[in-house]
Amino acid sequence: MLLGAIAQPNIHISRTQKNYLFIVDVTQSMNVKDMLVDGKPSTRLEYSKQLIKDTVKSMPCSTHVGLGIFFKTTATLLYTPMETCSNYHEIWHSIDRLDWRMASQGNSNIRVGLLSIASLLVTSDDNIAHIVFLTDGQEAPPLNIFSKTSLSDWQDQHPWTIVGVGGKTPLPIPKLDANNAVIGYWSTDSIKLNPASNVDEGHHGGRDNTIATEPYEYYLSQLETSYLKELAMNIHAQYITAGTTQQLIQALNQQPRQLQFQTKLALKPILAFFALIFVIAIYMPDMKKTAVKRLKKYFD
């Protein structure tokens, strides 16, 4: 046994692993307060963060979770999936620190963003099994026939779940400063449309400081359920409206793809343990005789 332990043998075993990548929309429409967290009014982004944290907390150990963000047309991977129990605090705090200020640009094109996520998956060594995308479906500026990217050539084979976050009532999008204080609301004048393209004035001279002064000028936002269902159909994904943690977990379990991977099991600790047992066993008879002699002397 000792010689076997010194040789440090390994055996290869096959394991299955549930594996999720949560991607959160951090564009400014996610700052609309039309959700509830612990019974208190909360932004769509804060609700999304709490939903992910509660979901991760409910997942069994050996589940792997990764995190990414979406803004403009880009998906950025913060970290690849890692085991939830051994990295629980790191995952929890990274989710808690998601912020709209992580976005370098404020506009949003979800259709192109989906293609960006698919491209990201190609370079991830296929260590991601299931993508969960949380968004309100707000396109800013709104798409037209010229800017609406087709998804007819979608080829990604990963299971997707699109989670719609937001209320049904259109509400103004708050405009925040660098300290996260509300300075007003986004105006429809902030976005200009022409027949051939969408133009965001904010990219041609720094920050757009336009603020709506009257309610009729507000740029309104709501959960775009119909649009997100269309997107889900285009990429062969399932769509759910954000609800309870149990509802999200149930939806994820409906697409139970698991990763199959080979891992090495080291036999050295097992062999060393049995070697120790056998060494102790050698001295057990002598130890027993010594103990019997001491007991006889004690009672005599």
Q: What is the pLDDT of residue 212?
A: 72
Confidence at 176, pLDDT banded by 50, 70, 90: confident
In Å, what is the CA distance from 40 to each residue of 36, 43, 214, 289? 5, 10, 27, 73
Domain locations in the chain as residue ranges: 2-7+263-299, 19-257
3-state secondary structure of 288: helix
Q: What is the pLDDT of residue 37?
A: 92
- Is the pLDDT at 201 greater than 70, yes or no? no
Whole-model pTM over 0.85: no
- Is the pLDDT at 105 greater than 80, yes or no? no
CA atoms of 42 and 46, how far apart (whole Å)? 6
Confidence at 283, pLDDT banded by 50, 70, 90: confident
Q: What is the pLDDT of residue 122?
A: 80
Q: What is the pLDDT of residue 30?
A: 94
Q: What is the mean pLDDT of residues 198-227?
A: 69
DSSP symbol at 190: G
Q: What CATH superfamily classification does 19-257 receive?
A: von Willebrand factor, type A domain (3.40.50.410)
Average pLDDT, the chain: 83
- Is the pLDDT at 96 greater than 90, yes or no? yes
Q: Which residues pair with 130 in a beta bridge?
A: 20
**Which has the closest alpha carbon to 49: 104, 100, 125?**
100
- Is the pLDDT at 226 greater than 70, yes or no? yes
Lowest mean pLDDT segment, chosen from 37-41, 181-185, 196-200, 267-271: 196-200
- Is the pLDDT at 199 greater than 70, yes or no? no
CA atoms of 61 and 84, how far apart (whole Å)? 6
Q: What is the pLDDT of residue 230?
A: 93
CA atoms of 75 and 79, how far apart (whole Å)? 12
Token pair of 50 as six digits = 């709490």
